[in-house]
Structure 1
Amino acid sequence: MNLTIDAKDDSKVAILSGDGVVIEGVQDALDAIMNAHYLDCAKVLIRKELIHEDFFELKTGLAGEIFQKCTNYHTKLAIVGDFSGYNSKSLRDFIYECNHGNHFFFKATEEEGLEALHGAK
């Protein structure tokens, strides 16, 4: 798991990278959040491919647990990638609601994710 920083004005976003799935569960997500905070970032961007597929199956509870950790540690999160392959109405509704808030975002590209996070106060 690697983190790089994208800075814009007074906003800093930690961009998570790695080989294969790096977020297998809640502890991996918490490690990423804590590493970002160590770098003075309360905003994290993750590519969809780096997250275990259980995250996108809402009944597993993984997404809720990870989002709760983000909330507890005052961390905003953007997940970027192609979500069109998911047919779950509940997931589509979840993504819609997140994108209309100010803490969690599902965006198609890294640029869109960075824009959302840098704009989030």
Structure 2
Amino acid sequence: MSDTLRHMYGTTVFVCASEGATLRGERDALDIIGEASYLGADWVVVPAGRFDDDFFRLRTRVAGEIVQKFVNYRMGIAVLGDISRHTAASSALRDFVREANRGTQVWFTPDIDDFQHRLEEAAVARR
């Protein structure tokens, strides 16, 4: 499967394929942001398996660097998939995920259906 552009509840979403380059830092984030921005996307959905394990170790600051790039470019990012092995190993990561999911720009979702549901709720709230 390749990267796709989808329209969900009035939002343009760039969905990254599960196969592809590993996101290791802000340079990789900028590459995806550039492609998504060129296509007119408001959100990027990245499968959890595309992130280097350092992303899930907060002390490495990789997650912060990547998330900050998305925030700077005013583009939402959703990490899609099961990250339970990472959250089980880190209370700091569990807290980060919980706080991110309370916001409107960074979400950790188990699947695309959950992501779509959150977009729908956000669209309703905007009305």
- Give the TM-score, by structure 2 length: 0.85
1:11–1:118 CA contact under 8 A, matched in 2: no
Q: Once superposed, what is the RMSD of the aligned Cα atoms? A: 1.7
- Correspondent of 1:96 among 98, 109, 123: 98
Amino acid at match of 1:8: M
Give 1 or 2: higher strand fraction. 1
Match of 1:13 in 2: 13
Identity of aligned residues (%): 34
Aligned counterparts of 1:9 and 1:58: Cα–Cα separation in 2: 32
Give 1 or 2: higher helix fraction. 2
Match of 1:51 in 2: 51
Cα distance, 1:116 vs. partner?
2.5
1:12–1:43 CA contact under 8 A, matched in 2: yes
Amino acid at match of 1:32: I
Classify the secondary structure of the residue corresponding to 1:74.
Answer: coil
Aligned counterparts of 1:66 and 1:119: Cα–Cα separation in 2: 25
Query: Does 1:77 pair with 2:61?
Result: no
The ranges of structure 1 where at least 4 consecutive aligned residues each deviate by more than 3 angstroms after the TM superposition are 117-121
Aligned counterparts of 2:34 and 2:121: Cα–Cα separation in 1: 22
Amino acid at match of 2:36: A
Match of 1:106 in 2: 108
Q: How many residues align?
A: 120
Gaps of 5+ in 2: none
1:37-82, Cα deviation, whole Å (9 max, x unpaired): 0000020001000111100000000000111100110010100111
108-117 or 37-46: which moved more?
108-117
Cα distance, 1:10 vs. partner?
2.1
User: What are the residue-to-residue correspondences of 1:109-120 with 2, within 5 Å?
Assistant: 109-117=111-119, 119-120=121-122
Gaps of 5+ in 1: none
2:25–2:65 CA contact under 8 A, matched in 1: no
